[in-house]
């Protein structure tokens, strides 16, 4: 029977390590992504009037996308640095370490696309739609809206769909990485 480990000053100070920083960073990133994707938006959508919800999302998502970028970059860098096989076999995603680097790359690139391209275009389209609703005196989904409104609705739906799909990919990639590090370690 093994002896239980005793907490000492040395064991407590040893907790401050690159590996523990990696786990905490990953945990924060996955938790934030999971919350934003499956809970935060749904709660806000149900609790707020539509235009207020849109304004909230316009303010919230850039912070979320940028934090995701800022947290996934050092994870990918550390993973690559501590797993030399990534650089040796970077074109072979069947190599486990490379697959993990790809997962972190998917997170970074998806959120960069959301932060710098899709998100701003979605917000721009949403605000055009709000402005046109005031001008026409009709909500975007009422019968008899203009062709311009229908075009804005179509564009908004496509942009929102792409953004949601990328974000879901982020949660899946982070889930895959979490399962990997939980099973095999860092």
pTM: 0.92
pLDDT tens track for 33-55:
999 999 999 999 999 999 999 99
| Gap between the Cα atoms of 162 and 104, Å rounded | 19
Residue 100 is encoded by which pair of tokens?
């993990």
How do the domains of the chain map onto residue ranges? 18-184
pLDDT tens track for 115-133:
999 999 999 999 999 999 9
pLDDT at 166 over 80: yes
Name the residue among 12, 32, 21 with its Cα closest to residue 186.
21
Give the residue with greater pLDDT, 76 vs 3: 76
Q: For every residue of 38-82, which 3-state class applies, written as one string?
A: HHHHHHHHHHCCHHHHHHHHHHHHHHHHHHHHHHHHHHHHHHHHH
| Gap between the Cα atoms of 52 and 67, Å rounded | 23
CB 101 within 8 A of CB 83: yes
pLDDT at 31 over 90: yes
CB 79 within 8 A of CB 104: yes
The per-residue pLDDT for 182 is: 97
Taking only Cα atoms into account, the Rg of the chain, rounded to an integer number of angstroms, comes to 21
């Amino acid at each position: 029977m093994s002896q239980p480990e005793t907490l000492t000053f040395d064991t407590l100070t040893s907790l401050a390590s690159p590996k523990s920083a990696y786990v905490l960073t990953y945990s924060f990133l996955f938790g934030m992504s999971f919350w934003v994707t499956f809970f935060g938006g749904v709660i806000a959508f149900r609790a707020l009037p539509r235009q207020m919800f849109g304004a909230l999302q316009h303010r919230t998502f850039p912070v979320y996308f940028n934090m995701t970028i800022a947290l996934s970059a050092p994870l990918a860098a550390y993973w690559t640095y501590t797993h030399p096989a990534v650089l040796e076999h970077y074109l072979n995603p069947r190599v486990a370490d490379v697959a993990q680097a790809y997962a972190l790359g998917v997170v970074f690139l998806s959120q960069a696309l959301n932060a710098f391209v899709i998100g701003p275009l979605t917000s721009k389209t949403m605000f055009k739609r709000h402005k046109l609703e005031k001008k026409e005196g009709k909500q975007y989904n009422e019968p008899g809206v203009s062709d311009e409104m229908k075009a804005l609705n179509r564009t908004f739906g496509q942009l929102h769909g792409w953004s949601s799909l990328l974000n879901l990919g982020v949660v899946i990639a982070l889930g895959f990485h979490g399962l990997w590090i939980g099973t095999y370690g860092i």
